Amino acid sequence: MTTSADSSLTRQLAAYIPVTLTRRILEKGLPPVGIPHGLTAATLFADVSGFTAMSEELATDGPRGAE
C-alpha cells in the first residue's frame, strides 16, 4: 500500500523516472528493497561537441548560468 509520504516522493521524482514506473509505484506502492524487477528500457549515450567547454563557461555565472 502506498502511504501519503510515498505518493508525495513519487510525484516529486516523476520528472526523473519513466511514467510507467511512476504509475506502477502510485498503484502498487514502492517495491521491497533488494527484490529485482525487470523492465524494458532504452538508453541513449550521446557526445555533444563542445558541451564541456560551454557548461564550464556557463558555470562561471553561478547557478543562473548552469541552469
Per-residue pLDDT reduced to its tens digit, 13-22: 777 888 888 8
Give residue 3's pLDDT band: very low, low, confident or very high (50, 70, 90): low
Alpha carbon distances (Å) from 46 to 2, 20, 58: 36, 24, 20
pTM for the whole thing?
0.42
Cα separation, 53 vs 58, in Å, equals 9
Give residue 62's pLDDT band: very low, low, confident or very high (50, 70, 90): confident
Residue 2: its pLDDT value, please?
54
